[in-house]
Amino acid sequence: MSTRVAIVTGGSRGIGRAAAERLAADGLAVVIAYAGNDAEAAATVEAVEAKGGTAVAVRADVADEHAVAALFDRAEAEFGGVDVVVHAAGIMLLGTVADFDLDALDRMHRVNIRGTFVVAQQAARRIRRGGAIVNLSTSVTKLALPTYAAYAASKGAVDAVSLILAKELRGRDVTVNAVAPGPTATALFLDGKDAQTIDRMSKANPLERLGTPDDIADVVSFLAGPGRWVNGQTLYANGGAA
């Protein structure tokens, strides 16, 4: 049996990087898709290779269907196919509904909604039997925190696409799920928050801490590997936050 192959979007930092490193440790060859930071992408590849794994980095705008098709082309040319797609690329812009900048709304929806749809479309067309698609969502869709409306709306679309795609792939032996992290110690979450806010949100769940990228990567690894009977679900990985 040939080596299984994973594409991880947003794979150069945060949860995406942790997922890429974990899947490489699980024995998959990993194609790390990143938006623009060449140094971070190269560092992720080096980290994977330092532990004996195999990885390449490909720059791609996830909302550009031609770039995403080229990303899948590269994975197939380099490793022979695609078995796992982890879509972790996304942006988070916060603000109240009353005051939210609509240009910022369009920018976030382009990345989070169109990007998810474009990546899912290529995955649906090209993933091999026995594969898994894992999209990163958010627990804020359930927690309903003020200033998160626009972001939560964009991630609600991720849940919808994931659950419906799981049904559309009937007969393909491919699972599709969303993982919804709670507050997680990444730059995406920490940037712009003061220490008091971070401490308050850290204690919002019964485990009284922020999640780590590795916590979420564990869930991704399960869904990409042994969790074959979990399909068409949104898994809330948030330490028990309500």
Tell me how far the alpha carbon of residue 10 is from its chain's centroid: 7
Measured between alpha carbons, how far is 70 from 59 in angstroms, rounded to an integer? Answer: 10
Instruction: Please tell me the chain's helix, strand, coil percentages from 3-state DSSP, rounded to the nearest 5.
Output: 45, 15, 40
Tokens 């994931």, located at residue: 162
CB contact set of 194 (below 8 Å; sequence gap of 6+): none
Measured between alpha carbons, how far is 129 from 132 in angstroms, rounded to an integer? Answer: 9
- The set of catalytic residues is 151
CA angle 195, 9, 5 (to 5 degrees): 130
Measured between alpha carbons, how far is 9 from 68 in angstroms, rounded to an integer? Answer: 10
Phi, psi of 113 (to 5 degrees): -95, -60
Tell me how far the alpha carbon of residue 7 is from its chain's centroid: 10
